[in-house]
Amino acid sequence: MKLSGSHILIECLRREGVEVIFAYPGGVNLPIFDVLYDEKEIQVILCRHEQGGTHMAEGYARATGKPGVVLVTSGPGATNTVTAIVDAYMDSTPLVILTGQVPTKMIGNDAFQEADVVGITRPCTKYNILVKDVNDLAQAVKEAFYIATSGRPGPVLVDLPKDVVLAKTEFKYPDKVYIRSYSPVSKGNKWQIKQAAQEIMKAKRPIIYAGGGVLSSDASQELRELAEMTQIPVTLTLMGLGAFPGSHPLFLGMLGMHGMYWANMSIHNSDLIIAIGARFDDRVTGDVSRFAPHARIVHIDVDPTSIHKVITADVPIVGDAKTILKDLNQILKTSGNGSLGKHKPWMTQIEKWKQEHPLSYDQGEKIIKPQYVIEKIYQATRGNAIISTDVGQHQMWTAQFYKFDRPRTFLNSGGLGTMGYGLPAAIGAQIAYPNEQVVCIAGDGGVIMNIQELATAVQYKLPVKIAIINNKYLGMVRQWQQLFYNGRYSSSYMGDGTDFVKLAEAFGAVGLRATEVGEVDGVLQEAFAVDKPVVIDFQVDQEENCYPMIPAGAAINEMVFSDPEKQKNEKGQREEEKADGVLTA
């Protein structure tokens, strides 16, 4: 029997196990929506803006590990997805984006709602393809899912001209894909894995530095086994949070620009860094030339281009983290006896660093400190929620104060730093897990960037909670202006004209507000008791800064812990004490 391109497309999605697509209709993809009208198995979520829809797909993909599927129309529909596609590309999130296109005969004629979407997205997709013949459609879709989810995952875009989805042909779904020019490596080189084991057995000051790759390859269990067997402490990147239990005694917290002092000091002073599914991002390394001068580096990554890109690895291992860690653990189990876990002095040193500069903030009696809100959310959700964030101070505070115990529970835009990511990502996660607690922690700047998706949350009755850390500023920008631009707050003040409670109510959601410390607990309780989308406006200290911090251009061991004035005072005090000491001596 002959089927139309639209039917073939939907049938392909079904065979790929797609349960939900994030979509927005328009002229050229109407034939596909017409088929979706009768579709029972696949849920269609109508977003309010294609960027929001694509971030939803990202949230869905990051929370589930399955590819997120987006269906939009040509021209503006497609270009609106671009920011989120770049976001997914940077964070290795598997997406399949289906874009409508004008009929093949009109391509290149400046037709209505035409854009060269394959051209526009070429540098920001793992692969993209314009399907010019309905006979190629099933193969293209099959390949899209395969490429998006294998190796280092990423977004794949399939551009579908209107005449192609209308044309009919025999439907045959390929059972297998073989692409001669694409074969991601999964098994690690045995000899190299042995080398890595040797390095681990020799090391006196080892540290595991793991990232999002551990989550992508579902290797959390193997990572934990490695850490517990060797007693090597673990630090995670922003993208990796959740890959190792946040409350585990071997966990050092996040590293990097706003990471834990002791995690950074451990990296800096280590003699062996075992990097797993992480890419030595500039927010992690600080000044590369001064990064971990004494460390040997074992680097495990599925993407060969990540290896030797920033830091030269002594033992590079290309392949899937889960497979490699299994092999490595096996070797260590059989031959590591007696030589593992013998680094007590190192652990003592790390403990000392922990005592030196613990994470802290001063919660006064009245004004709410943003960090306090995060801690309260952690308590209220018993550390068990799926949390999404936007980008900025609140994102870093969440990474610092929320202890993620489970994989795939922290959704945020790490590589691209996309404001407006949090709310739609939370919606995507809530759709995947209707019974889980999903909280979006956002800033007052970013939340506005995709606030329209609140309408989506209300329409589909998704009980997401949106906690706005409202400091009336673009907080991270203001912080940098304060520290590095002489306090000249150029265009970073957002004003207090927006009434987020009324805004929530206008969308049909619940709006709550807390302005004093005493109200935080109650408001959270109230929010979690409601089975509806709730926006909570936490009016927090306007000029709280995010510390500790590695200033731009500094090395990883050169962290700053407080505002300059405060530092001066502390230094002054120390000097006075010293002077006193000298006098009394």
Partner 1 sequence: MQHIISVLVENKFGVLSRVSGLFSGRGFNIESLSVGPTLDPTVSMMTIVTVGDDRIVEQITKQLNKLVDIIKVVDLTEKEYVERETALIKINTRAEDRAEALRVADIFRAKIVDSTPNTYTIEITGDVKKIDAIINLLRPLGIKELIRTGRIAIAREEVKTVAVKEDKERRVLSQ
Q: State the catalytic residue, choosing from 56, 449, 476, 549.
A: 476
305 forms part of the interface with partner 1 (CB under 8 A): yes
Only one of the segments 119-127, 224-232, 280-288, 446-454 lies at the binding site for partner 1 (rule: CB under 8 A); that segment is: 119-127
99 binds partner 1 (CB under 8 A): no
CB 163, min distance to partner 1, A: 18
Amino acid at 94: P
**Span of 122-130, 370-378, 413-421, 520-528 interacting with partner 1 by CB under 8 A:** 122-130
Output the smallest distance, CB 361 to partner 1, in A: 41
**Which is the catalytic residue, given 101, 142, 145, 162?**
162
Residue 104 in contact with partner 1, rule: CB under 8 A: no
Considering only residues 134 to 163 of the shown chain, the ones binding partner 1 according to CB under 8 A are: 147
In the 3-class helix/strand/coil scheme, how is 335-383 assigned residue by residue? HCCCCCCCCHHHHHHHHHHHHHCCCCCCCCCCCECHHHHHHHHHHHCCC
Tell me the longest C-alpha to C-alpha distance in the chain: 98
Q: Is 119 in the site for partner 1 (CB under 8 A)?
A: yes
Q: Which is nearer to partner 1, 174 or 304 (CB)?
A: 304
Choose among 567, 562, 539, 530: nearest CA to 549. 562
* Identified binder of partner 1 from the candidate list 123, 495, 497, 553, rule CB under 8 A: 123
Count interface residues toward partner 1 (CB under 8 A): 27
122 binds partner 1 (CB under 8 A): yes
Residue 105 and residue 509: Cα distance in Å, rounded?
46
Active-site annotation holder among 41, 105, 112, 516: 112
Return the number of the residue (303 or 526) whose C-beta is nearest partner 1.
303
Q: Determine which one of 43, 113, 139, 363 is catalytic.
A: 113
Q: In the window 181-210, what residues touch partner 1 (CB under 8 A)?
A: 181-183, 185, 188-189, 191-192
- Is 476 considered catalytic here? yes
Interface region with partner 1, contact rule CB under 8 A, candidates 126-134, 169-177, 202-210, 327-335: 126-134
Strands (E), 61-108: 68-72, 95-101
Q: In terms of C-beta density within 10 A (0-12 exposed, 13-18 middle, 19 or more buried), how is residue 314 classed? A: middle
Q: 317 or 534, CB closer to partner 1?
A: 317
Determine which one of 16, 22, 33, 50 is catalytic. Answer: 50
Task: Report the run of H or E that residue 3 belongs to, with start and end.
Answer: strand 2-4
In the residue annotation, 50 being an active-site residue is answered as yes
Contact with partner 1 (CB under 8 A) among 102, 118, 203, 454: 118
Residue 344 a catalytic site member: no
Q: How far apart are CA 360 and CA 401, in angstroms?
A: 10
Choice between 31 and 415, CB closer to partner 1: 415
Quickly count helices (H) and strands (E) in the chain: 24, 20
Query: What phi, psi does 365 have (nearest 5°)?
Result: -90, -20
Minimum CB distance to partner 1, residue 274 (Å): 17
DSSP secondary-structure letter at 181? T
Q: Which two structure tokens, joined as six digits, stand for 406? A: 């489970």
Cα–Cα distance for residue pair 434/66, rounded to 1 Å: 16
Q: Which is nearer to partner 1, 199 or 544 (CB)?
A: 199
Comparing CB distances to partner 1, the nearer of 115 and 385 is 115
Name which of residues 310 to 349 contact partner 1 (CB under 8 A).
316, 318-319
Please state, in angstroms and rounded to a whole number, the distance separating the CA atoms of residues 137 and 131: 6
Closer CB to partner 1, 27 or 184, in the complex: 184
**Closest CB to partner 1 among 54 and 128?**
128
Coil, strand, or helix at residue 465?
Answer: strand
**Count of CB atoms situated within 10 Å of the CB of 451:** 22
What is the smallest separation between the CB atom of 388 and partner 1, expressed in angstroms? Answer: 29
> Alpha-carbon distance 204 to 200, whole Å?
9
Write down the least CB distance from residue 315 to partner 1, Å: 9
Site string for partner 1, 366-385 (x = CB under 8 A): --------------------
DSSP string, 392-440: SHHHHHHHHH----STT-EE---SS--TT-HHHHHHHHHHH-TTS-EEE
Task: Specify the pairing of strand 43-46 against strand 534-539.
Answer: unpaired
Which residue lies nearer to partner 1 by CB, 318 or 451?
318
**Minimum distance of partner 1 from residue 332's CB (angstroms):** 20
Residues 487-516 within binding reach of partner 1 (CB under 8 A): none
Half-sphere exposure of 151 (CA within 13 A, CB side): 18
Nearest-approach distance from CB 173 to partner 1, in angstroms: 21
Q: Which residue has the tokens 């579709």?
A: 39
548 preceded by a cis bond (ω within 30 of 0): yes
Q: Catalytic positions, please?
A: 50, 112-113, 162, 476
**Sites of contact with partner 1 (CB under 8 A):** 118-119, 122-123, 126-127, 130, 147, 179-183, 185, 188-189, 191-192, 303-305, 307-309, 316, 318-319
